Chains A and B, each alone.
Chain A
Amino acid sequence: DAGVTQSPTHLIKTRGQQVTLRCSPKSGHDTVSWYQQALGQGPQFIFQYYEEEERQRGNFPDRFSGHQFPNYSSELNVNALLLGDSALYLCASSLVAVGYTFGSGTRLTVV
């Protein structure tokens, strides 16, 4: 049973560019959440998608947007990249009874 898969694993972008990260949830999970983890910090909640709608959002600017598709997969888009957006981006899928399952993450470097 495949867990949460994320692509790409690593990415280098230039300041001001736009980036799209992708996530496929664990089989049977219908809720997808995105987290940003800066070096040496715990993950910070960006937003959560359920039934193709953004259900909750953390304290992140509108430059961060997302989408969930009918097959429950999801994308995270970041516009006008800043150096401070460099981080590990984690996708997680969840079911209430069994908790969160995280992917291996996408390491984004903005230069």
Chain B
Amino acid sequence: KQEVTQIPAALSVPEGENLVLNCSFTDSAIYNLQWFRQDPGKGLTSLLLIQSSQREQTSGRLNASLDKSSGRSTLYIAASQPGDSATYLCAVGDSGAGSYQLTFGKGTKLSVIP
């Protein structure tokens, strides 16, 4: 059974800092990995999708890396802004029955202080 762990559970940084969120998973036979953002009481917004054959993906100030062999992914946020404050969820795509399902970590709650 796939297990996904995110460290740290919470993080508070001053505006402008670069930061790294960590995600680890137990079964390296993944289909893909997707990072999401969740604002309080809201749904999930997809940030980056990394296919199993890829090593990293970039979108604006965000960069996500994937190391399947070690079961790790990182989300790098450059020049953090107060609007980045949210919970960030890592989800691993596991294959099964012709498609795949997502297994989530518990998330990292990020607070960016102005």
- Which residues on B are within 8 Å of A, measured CB to CB? 4, 32, 34, 36, 41-46, 49, 89, 91, 93, 96-107
Q: Please state if B43 and A102 are interface contacts (CB–CB under 8 Å).
A: yes
Kindly state the separation between the CA atoms of A44 and B107 in the bound complex, as whole angstroms. Answer: 13
Interface size on A, residues (CB 8 A): 30
Partner of A105, one of B34, B43, B91, B104: B43
Contact in complex: B101, A33 (CB < 8 Å):
yes
Using a CB–CB cutoff of 8 Å, the interface residues on chain A facing chain B are: 4, 6, 31, 33, 35, 40-45, 48, 50, 55-56, 58, 88, 90, 92, 94, 96, 98-105, 107
8 more A-B residue pairs beyond the given contacts A35-B104, A43-B89, with a C-beta to C-beta distance below 8 A: A31-B99, A41-B106, A43-B44, A56-B96, A56-B97, A99-B49, A102-B44, A102-B46
Question: Which residues of the other chain, A, contact B89 by a CB distance below 8 angstroms?
Answer: 42-43
Residue picked from B4, B42, B100, B101, most chain A C-beta under 10 Å: B101
Chain B residues closer than 8 Å to A99, beta-carbon distance: 32, 34, 46, 49, 93
Contact between B99 and A100 (Cβ–Cβ < 8 Å)? Answer: no
| A45:B102 contact, CB within 8 angstroms | yes
Contact of B104 among A31, A42, A96 (CB under 8 A): A42
A48 partner, pick from B43, B46, B99, B104, beta carbons under 8 A: B99
In the complex, 21 of the A-B residue pairs with CB atoms within 8 angstroms, ordered by the A residue number, are A33-B101, A33-B102, A35-B104, A41-B106, A42-B4, A42-B89, A42-B104, A43-B102, A45-B103, A48-B99, A50-B99, A56-B96, A88-B41, A92-B44, A94-B99, A96-B99, A100-B91, A101-B46, A102-B43, A104-B43, A105-B43
